[in-house]
Chain A
Amino acid sequence: MDNVKPTRTGGRWTAIIPIVVVALLVGAFAKRLIDVESGQDPALVQSVLLDTPVPDIDLPPLPNREPGLKTPDLKKEVSLVNVWGSWCIACLSEHPLLMDLAEQNHIPIHGIAWRDDPSASVRWLARNGDPYKLIGQDPVSEAAIAFGVTGAPETFVIDGGGIIRYKHIGPITPDVWANTIAPLVEQLRQ
């Protein structure tokens, strides 16, 4: 075996490249898992409409509930715009919170009755309570697309000048209200 020269060993440092790549991937996946777990799902994209004026809308009212909802209504005071529908199960779960806010007269909540049969909207409000100041019907998603809505419920915080300041995707939980929306509303009122 004296004649056998050792195998060429140059470039062995490259052997760590796969390990580094795998470690980076594991890190990236772990970060994403932790984000989703802690409620920061990157699939829930934050709206590009933040800090821009509310879009132009002029929505018709529900039967016997004049007037509807139009853009100038959103430029008077800090308000919430809640996208809902009688078909939307998750809307029902945030409804008690909206009712509480309305009873306390905390903040005007406007509703967009999205893709709903008007009589179904009316029946739903009669059964569950009506927390809304103004409601506009949006039968063909005209306002929903203008607001960049991806599903119901979604809630926008609008400042006194009619600028969109926040969008919450999904039902407003007491936690979201207390820790995110309520402080923002206080801040916008100053």
Chain B
Amino acid sequence: MKILGLVSGALIGSIFALVAYAVEPDEMLDDPALEERARVISQDLRCVVCQNETIDESNATLAQDMRRLVRQRILAGDSNEDVLAYMVDRYGDFVLLRPRVTAQTLLLWLGPFILLVFGVVNAARYIKRPKAIDTPGLSPEEMAEVDVLIQKTEGPDQQ
């Protein structure tokens, strides 16, 4: 059990190790609060070279330059929304990893809830539906016949 614990611990640890960040020390801002804002913003921005990584995680040189630009904008006094808007103005909504709610993305946002409602309605109908086979009970003669049959099959080895 101890070995199992160690192995599973190592496996879990290696999963977290994959979430490494690419920010290099010389990129960081001196003010920890501003640096924290830069990290939050960077985690919402797509690396446009690698496409499925945030610029916070990516080692691509363009991502590095985008991180630097995010920090420049923060130092210039931009709010988080201003910085994101600055990137969207140049790269479009594509650069945002958290799509904004627009007519185009409405289905993306509401889809899961529509499917959930659909599922609940169907489950409710399934549970409430009448039993598939509805037979009248056995007549007293039939019950007697069944009793006889049960007596017959119950051999001496039972009970």
Contact = CB atoms under 8 A, between A and B. Distances in A.
Interface stretch (B33-41, B99-107, B132-140): B132-140
Given A115-B61, A140-B68, A144-B65, A3 B135 contact: yes
B108 interface: no
Interface string B71-96: 00000000000000000111110100
A5 interface: yes
B28 interface: no
Contact of B61 (A8, A43, A47, A141): A141
A140 B51 CA distance: 20
Interface residues on B, range: 20 to 34
A140 B61 CA distance: 9
Interface residues of A, number: 24
B51 A145 contact: no
Given A8-B130, A140-B65, 20 more contacts: A3-B135, A5-B135, A8-B129, A45-B91, A48-B89, A49-B90, A55-B90, A140-B68, A141-B66, A141-B69, A144-B65, A145-B62, A145-B65, A145-B66, A145-B90, A148-B90, A149-B62, A150-B48, A150-B91, A151-B48
Interface of A: 3-5, 7-8, 11, 43, 45, 47-49, 55, 115, 140-142, 144-151
